Amino acid sequence: MEMIEAGQVANLIVKDASRLGREYLQVGYYMEIYFPQKNVRFIAVNDGVDSTVESSNDFNPIRNWANELHAKDTSRKVRAVMKMKAEQGERLGGRPPYGYRKSDGD
């Protein structure tokens, strides 16, 4: 964002719009207000979004909302699995804390 503020960016290309952010209101602000004000062309390759092509922007709000829902749903599922593993006494990953060792089965 610092480079955009400094006027050093003319085009911002991402794999898909979800890479820009997860909160649909914030992403919408950038796509609809911030980038046009800064004369930055925004392209999301996999979503077929190009800020210079008006028809490619029609579903941006819906797409951004769906991306936010997907992120929240994934987070909820991961937390549920981690909680279940912890309740079953399974290792949750990473290195054990200093002074502890992994059991042979881990």
Burial class of residue 24, CB neighbours in 10 A (0-12, 13-18, 19+):
buried
| Three-class SS state of 12 | strand
CA dihedral defined by 23, 25, 28, 30, rounded to 10 degrees? -80
What CATH number should be reported for the domain holding residue 80? 3.40.50.1390
Task: Write out the residue range of the structural domain in which residue 28 sits.
Answer: 2-87
* Banded model confidence at residue 37, pLDDT cuts 50, 70, 90: very high
Q: Is residue 106 part of a domain?
A: no
* Banded model confidence at residue 78, pLDDT cuts 50, 70, 90: very high
Q: Is residue 70 part of a domain?
A: yes
Q: Is residue 39 part of a domain?
A: yes
- Mean pLDDT over each residue of the chain, to the nearest integer: 86
End-to-end CA distance of the chain: 43
Phi/psi region, residue 16 (left: phi>0; alpha: psi -120 to 50; beta: rest), is beta
pLDDT at 56 over 70: no
Q: Is residue 95 part of a domain?
A: no
